[in-house]
Structure 1
């Protein structure tokens, strides 16, 4: 009984979760945690941290050791008499050595600075990935809500057409309307049924695109919160009168824009690549030292030899070396230097292009908000006028003062106006949210 109660509780919880409505903020927050790009950037951040540790370790000396065992037979040299003989010998060598890079044209230092820059950039890269996925999800969420709202409009239009068809059939039975009028109305109902089916298919496709952007399980239900859309529209319409200055917004957003920081990072990264490649054209200086020893035994003779411990101690030798390497000509290094310089210049051009695109995007978003707000205001008036016109046309049609074709034209005009009004509302939601983002507001709250 206890297990059954627990199972029922889990079923109820699952049903509540599956039935909950998802707002725009909910979808963006889910995408920021589960999107593939965000997960990929998390792995990249770990890799940048590992690269930084590797760059720090490059300042330390490299230490290596080696052991070699060798059996030799046939003609060879006796290490004790330095004469040729024909015997079987065993040689055992041991070596422990270290090497320290003293100077390499500042390549190691620049590689360290580059790795540190990449590590510090991880937070910005993560923010950029989250912002990009949030904007993408916002667009697809609005498309899905728009498609669902269009279904409601198409359904209302179909219901009205069916009501008029039923009334037309009744008038035809009474002899007040002809068969062509009934056929025309049946055609209108068929057209509205097609429009409803088309909108339903569009809604399913839009919802699938939203799930894909969120990395949401395709088989799970995702119910959108239509009421949150109405609240968003209300909040947008309250701020229609505001006219922000695009230049001020651009100057303020320039210092916090993830896209700008990413472009600046690419320039610095390419600059360090150029410094590293140029440093490899300079002479390099390295310091090395080591300890060597060996053990020898002639297996063909049964003479007396010092033991392993004695030879290991007595044959030990140390060395210390300072090596200067001067690159006279190396085509690969010259090619790498020139290629790195070109990449640096390209990164600078991309930075300027990113700065210009950001300026245009902010100006365009502000213009769109102002334009869509005005268009939406006019569409409100047009929908109200078309609604009155359709109502009057419907009354005239019922009284026999208007043809079926004219009634269809009036109904179609009203439908197009409502669809256009809904489209303006959705576009206003997106652009108003983008302007807020450019003003410093977080997309994911």
Structure 2
């Protein structure tokens, strides 16, 4: 037998399902939030410890994987909201070709030729003011991320709680199976003794038939206990999301679990009241924290929506240039040249020559055109919302509705937590009384059975009365096992709510 201590980390509200005779255990483990390595989650044999079962479940559970994706999505959303504070920068490039009558993109004049041109533009914009919507969106997404992180912890805890509950169901049914087998051994021993006495003629044969029927009844109890144990093991495998008996997977009957020593309870009064447990749970339960963070996130969402009523001031800038194959030409002096000119002198038309500089024309290069056509611009833009078909007002109303819905959800979470604690506390008191009464009953029935067995061995008691005494003791012992687990587990439930270390 081993003793296991589990330390609570952040915990959440749980729902306990009554499984067969065990009313369940709720336990949280900080280790349940630890990243599980593949080597830890894959046991070499079919023997499992509670730590291994929790690790396997945390690795395989689909709800945890979905919650992890939700956290990743929230992290991305928060990162993007922070990046929205940075300016935007866009580049544009264009290559065009046209023939026939076109417009020279450089001179904006008509030309009768084919035009091949390139356009380049770089523009940027930054928001100077928009009612602090960007800053408020960062706050909203940060709170949403924290809420989803708490939900992930809650999901991990729920999975760990389910595993622990099923694990302890296996322990309970295993102990009941041991009791049933000992009952068979006791009855079989009495049957063997009675058979010898009947053969010797000391006892009537009718008592032998009664004991044989009792042996068959005890064997049926063993079968039922074994079935309950197999079903509990199957539930444990399913809680770990492991296939049962397919493709080499362990079958419910083949798996074994490590046993932990559970001392008999002392039945001392619990150290805290239900109200004290509730006040402590409010500080640790992840689902409560998640609900409260969601309320704050939605409240920030209302402020984001209200920012839509304010003007928006943006600063823009641009840089552009172009190239064209029909762009302007540059000229260079190339000596002098005589230019003939007709003039009238004294009524007579004469031709004279004028000396003028000679030029040669060359097209600008690609780079020179880009440089010459470079254009720079900057603008400050103010957008004032005047009438937008009440879209901004409706967004505010919708955000307010979401906030109120989150507040109701948070109130319901706290209400459910209080009710669960009150139920757990009352059940703990009832389990304490039931264990105390059952313990007294077992002690009394043990003495009664000892007396009945002595009288039966002496021939002063018939087999029917003997079987009645034995059956009463057997049922009482089984009830004591259930009462013991029930009381111990319910005290652990209250410890769980208070984030106390739980020892088994």
TM-score range, shorter chain: 0.7 to 0.9
2:167 is the alignment partner of 1:141: yes
| C-alpha contact (below 8 Å) 1:31/1:133 kept by paired residues | no
2:470 is the alignment partner of 1:411: yes
Distance 2:502 2:458 in 1: 55
2:148 is the alignment partner of 1:89: no
Where does 1:101-120 land on structure 2 (aligned, <5 Å)?
Answer: 101-120=127-146
Residue in 1 that maps onto 2:405: 346
The alpha-carbon deviation at position 347 of structure 1 amounts to: 1.0
Residue in 2 that maps onto 1:440: 499
Q: Deviations over 1:32-71 (max 9, x none)?
A: 8646355655554444433332221111111111211122
| C-alpha contact (below 8 Å) 1:64/1:98 kept by paired residues | yes
Residue in 1 that maps onto 2:388: 329
* Shift in alpha-carbon separation, 1:407–1:44, aligned structure 2, 3 A: same
Residue in 1 that maps onto 2:290: 262
| C-alpha contact (below 8 Å) 1:376/1:421 kept by paired residues | yes
* Shift in alpha-carbon separation, 1:325–1:94, aligned structure 2, 3 A: farther
Q: Deviations over 1:264-313 (max 9, x none)?
A: 012112222333234335443322211111111259xxx96422111111
Indicate the RMSD between aligned Cα atoms, in angstroms.
3.3
Residue in 1 that maps onto 2:299: 271
| C-alpha contact (below 8 Å) 1:31/1:213 kept by paired residues | no
**TM-score normalized by the length of structure 1:** 0.82
Residue in 1 that maps onto 2:376: 318
* Shift in alpha-carbon separation, 1:269–1:173, aligned structure 2, 3 A: same
| C-alpha contact (below 8 Å) 1:134/1:444 kept by paired residues | no
SS of residue matched to 1:229: coil
SS of residue matched to 1:254: helix
Give structure 1 stretches of 5+ with no counterpart. Answer: 1-15
Residue in 1 that maps onto 2:257: 224
2:247 is the alignment partner of 1:188: no
2:446 is the alignment partner of 1:421: no
Where does 1:22-421 land on structure 2 (aligned, <5 Å)?
Answer: 22=49, 26=51, 30=55, 34=59, 36=61, 41-42=67-68, 44-79=70-105, 82=108, 87-121=113-147, 124-175=150-201, 181-214=207-240, 219=249, 223-226=256-259, 228-230=260-262, 233-234=263-264, 237-238=265-266, 240-298=268-326, 305-321=363-379, 322-324=381-383, 326=385, 328-330=387-389, 335-421=394-480
| C-alpha contact (below 8 Å) 1:134/1:443 kept by paired residues | no
Distance 2:389 2:193 in 1: 92
Distance 2:472 2:98 in 1: 101
Distance 2:208 2:324 in 1: 114
| C-alpha contact (below 8 Å) 1:165/1:182 kept by paired residues | yes
| C-alpha contact (below 8 Å) 2:311/2:382 kept by paired residues | no
Q: Deviations over 1:313-368 (max 9, x none)?
A: 11121222314152623476555443332221111111112222222222333333
* Shift in alpha-carbon separation, 1:42–1:210, aligned structure 2, 3 A: same
| C-alpha contact (below 8 Å) 1:91/1:296 kept by paired residues | yes
SS of residue matched to 1:340: helix
The alpha-carbon deviation at position 125 of structure 1 amounts to: 4.3
Residue in 1 that maps onto 2:39: none
The structure in which a higher percent of residues are strand is 2
Residue in 1 that maps onto 2:28: none
Question: Who wins on radius of gyration, i.e. which is larger?
Answer: 2
The alpha-carbon deviation at position 369 of structure 1 amounts to: 2.5
Give structure 2 stretches of 5+ with no counterpart. Answer: 1-42, 328-360
Distance 1:419 1:305 in 2: 106
* Shift in alpha-carbon separation, 1:387–1:72, aligned structure 2, 3 A: farther
Distance 2:75 2:479 in 1: 51
Matched residues, number: 420
The alpha-carbon deviation at position 382 of structure 1 amounts to: 0.7
**TM-score normalized by the length of structure 2:** 0.73
* Shift in alpha-carbon separation, 1:109–1:332, aligned structure 2, 3 A: same
The alpha-carbon deviation at position 153 of structure 1 amounts to: 0.8
